[in-house]
Amino acid sequence: MPIYDFVCNECDASRPVLVDYEAKEGLELICVHCGGVMRAAPVAMFTVIRSTKVEQSTNRKKIKSCGHAHHCRCAAIKQKAPIPFQKQIDEALGAGEHQ
């Protein structure tokens, strides 16, 4: 949720307020200094803060030999017989023949 500066129309006092974008449009505060009406000032500058943990988790995403990127048990399943429709699956996916 963004922090907006609310500025008094009478004495130009300001105070930061943490409020949702839609709620800020109709929100009017009372100035503690003069009792005037405070409205949200136009945004002049903003800063984007990124978490390094998010970047690391996306970079560490490894695709396993089964094709999954999440924890799965595909490696524990041993196929004893050939898959009956593997040729059609490979053709539909555009891959070569299953080996």
| Model pLDDT for residues 50-63, shown as the tens digit of each residue | 776 655 555 556 76
Of the listed ranges 17-31, 37-51, 65-79, the one predicted with least confidence: 65-79
Interatomic CA distance for residues 94 and 99, integer angstroms: 15
Interatomic CA distance for residues 99 and 86, integer angstroms: 10
pLDDT tier, 8 (very low <50, low <70, confident <90, very high otherwise): very high
Alpha-helical runs (H) found in 3-76: 21-26, 52-59
Q: CA 5, 8, 11, 16: dihedral to nearest 10 degrees? A: -30
Look at residue 7 and tell me whether its pLDDT is greater than 70. Answer: yes
Check: pTM over 0.85? Answer yes or no.
no
pLDDT tier, 37 (very low <50, low <70, confident <90, very high otherwise): very high
